[in-house]
Chain A
Amino acid sequence: AQSVTQLGSHVSVSEGALVLLRCNYSSSVPPYLFWYVQYPNQGLQLLLKYTSAATLVKGINGFEAEFKKSETSFHLTKPSAHMSDAAEYFCAVSDLGGNKLVFGAGTILRVKS
């Protein structure tokens, strides 16, 4: 069975500081990994995805993530936080068929001015 663990339910950074949101996964098959963002009272928006190509994946809004097989990690980073980045972020892994996404519990990012 696949699973995702997001370390830290809440992360707080200052505007302009580095954003690091942690995600570790468990999968018995090569995983497909995703980061989604959810703004208050909205659905999920895809930030980026890893589908076995380049291990460093660049997404929208300046975010990127690095797939590290040896560490079973897919941490999300952004060099400089902006107030508009405040939201909840979800890491997800999908099965081989891509039919089912398994999500972590989410990390709420707070950006301080």
Chain B
Amino acid sequence: DAGVTQSPTHLIKTRGQQVTLRCSPKSGHDTVSWYQQALGQGPQFIFQYYEEEERQRGNFPDRFSGHQFPNYSSELNVNALLLGDSALYLCASRPGQNMKTQYFGPGTRLLVL
């Protein structure tokens, strides 16, 4: 049983560009959350998707957007990249809205130059 998978593993972009990160949840999971982990810090909640809708959002600007597909996979899009967007982006999934435990993927490390 595959866990949460993310692609790509690493990415280098320049300021002003746009990036799309992808996540496939663990089998049987329908709720996906995204977190940003800057170097030396704990992860910060970006947003959560359930039934293809954004259900809750953290304190991130509109440059951060997402999507969830009918097969529960998800994308995180970041527009107009800033140097400060360099971080590890983690995807987490869980089986339904009432389940508290989230399972994390290995992350995508984004470097913005």
Contact = CB atoms under 8 A, between A and B. Distances in A.
A42 B106 contact: yes
Interface string B97-108: 111111111110
A51 B56 CA distance: 21
Nearest to B35: A101
Contacts of B97: 97-99
B29 interface: no
Nearest to B99: A98
Interface stretch (A12-20, A70-78, A103-111): A103-111
B73 interface: no
Judged by DSSP, the binding face of B is loop
A36 B4 CA distance: 15
A45 interface: yes
B16 to A, nearest CB: 28
B: contact size bracket? 20 to 34
Q: Which of B92, B104, B107 gathers most chain A CB within 10 Å?
A: B104
Judged by DSSP, the binding face of A is strand
Contacts of B90: 43-44
Contact of B43 (A45, A99, A103): A103
A48 to B, nearest CB: 10
A25 interface: no
A99 B101 contact: no
A102 interface: yes
Given A90-B42, A101-B45, A49 B104 contact: no
A46 B101 contact: yes
B22 interface: no
Given A44-B104, A99-B48, 15 more contacts: A42-B106, A42-B107, A43-B4, A43-B107, A44-B43, A45-B104, A46-B101, A92-B42, A94-B100, A97-B97, A99-B97, A101-B92, A104-B42, A105-B40, A105-B41
